[in-house]
Amino acid sequence: MDMQGISPEVVDRFREQYRKLPKPVFAHCKSGKRAGAMMMMHIAAEQGMSGEQTLEQAEKMGFECDQPELEQFVKNYVDSHVAH
């Protein structure tokens, strides 16, 4: 998956499949940014975090994202998919 292929629907499908898989799950990609973003979006939405809180937590965890479009996508996705 590249930035052109990421969409809310792709993240929704990832989250649905993730819930069904036996844990632990190893998610990876070449740089770790997309895999990390997918996991952060899932965890943040499940825990009711805001998009901004998600980015702050990711930074504390050492997640470095030099792609502003990915950061904005993460923020927007989480803000619109928070579990209530």
Tens digit of pLDDT per residue, the chain (84 long)? 677 888 999 999 999 999 999 999 988 888 888 889 999 999 999 999 999 999 999 999 988 878 899 999 999 999 999 765
Structural domain span for residue 36: 29-84
- For residue 2, is it within any domain? no
- For residue 47, is it within any domain? yes
- For residue 16, is it within any domain? no
Which letter does DSSP use for residue 6 in this model?
-
Write down the pTM of the prediction: 0.87
- For residue 56, is it within any domain? yes
Q: Which residues contact 5 (CB under 8 A, 6 or more apart)?
A: none
Cα–Cα distance for residue pair 75/58, rounded to 1 Å: 11
- For residue 74, is it within any domain? yes
As for how many domains the chain has, the answer is 1
